[in-house]
């Protein structure tokens, strides 16, 4: 059984959706979300969302979408990779040199948009169950090259 097949068996997962659609369609319940590069690419990130004031997974993804997660989780991982990309940096620097600097949140949003992420999720009843599922998914993907810092 390959790693993703093992993950599939751990929960009832949503279908994969492009990052641009994920915020509007993600669950308002706690759970786990998985991101991969491209429609059929490798899984690169596993995250967990608790209740988040009734916004669950959608609330967590919204934090990233708005660029407010530049120093945590998926947002930080995407930002780290963007900052290592000279072409991406040149584009940002050119805007600054033209007198159009952007806020950090705009850079963080652009960092996520530069990666063709697709996302899916599985709901849980509460944070504790979401944490347990996240741990199981990370264990199933132990051989994968994930962006997650915490493994």
pLDDT digits 0-9 by tens, 49-59:
998 677 899 99
How many angstroms separate the CA atoms of 22 and 57, rounded?
Answer: 10
What's the pLDDT band for 61 if we cut at 50, 70, 90?
A: very high
- Mean pLDDT to the nearest integer, 35-46: 95
pLDDT at residue 99 greater than cutoff 90: yes
Collect all residues with Cβ–Cβ distance below 8 Å to 48 and sequence separation of at least 6. 30, 31, 32, 33, 127, 130, 131, 133, 134
Q: What is the pLDDT of residues 1-35, one digit of tens each?
A: 467 889 999 999 999 999 999 999 999 999 999 99
The separation between the first and the last C-alpha atoms of the chain, rounded to the nearest angstrom, is 21
pLDDT (0 to 100) of residue 1: 44
Most confident of 45-54, 63-72, 110-119: 110-119
């Amino acid at each position: 059984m390959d790693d993703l097949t093992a993950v599939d068996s751990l929960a009832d997962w949503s279908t994969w959706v492009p990052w641009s659609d994920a915020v509007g369609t993600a669950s308002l319940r706690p759970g786990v979300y998985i991101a991969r590069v491209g429609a059929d690419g490798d899984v690169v990130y596993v995250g967990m969302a608790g209740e988040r004031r009734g916004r669950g997974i959608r609330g967590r993804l919204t934090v990233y979408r708005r660029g407010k997660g530049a120093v945590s989780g998926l947002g930080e991982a995407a930002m780290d990779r963007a900052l290592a990309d000279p072409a991406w940096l040149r584009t940002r620097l050119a805007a600054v040199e033209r007198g159009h600097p952007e806020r950090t949140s705009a850079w963080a949003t652009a960092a996520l948009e530069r990666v063709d992420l697709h996302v899916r999720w599985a709901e849980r009843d509460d944070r504790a169950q979401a944490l347990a599922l996240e741990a199981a998914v990370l264990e199933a993907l132990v051989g994968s090259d994930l962006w997650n810092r915490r493994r």
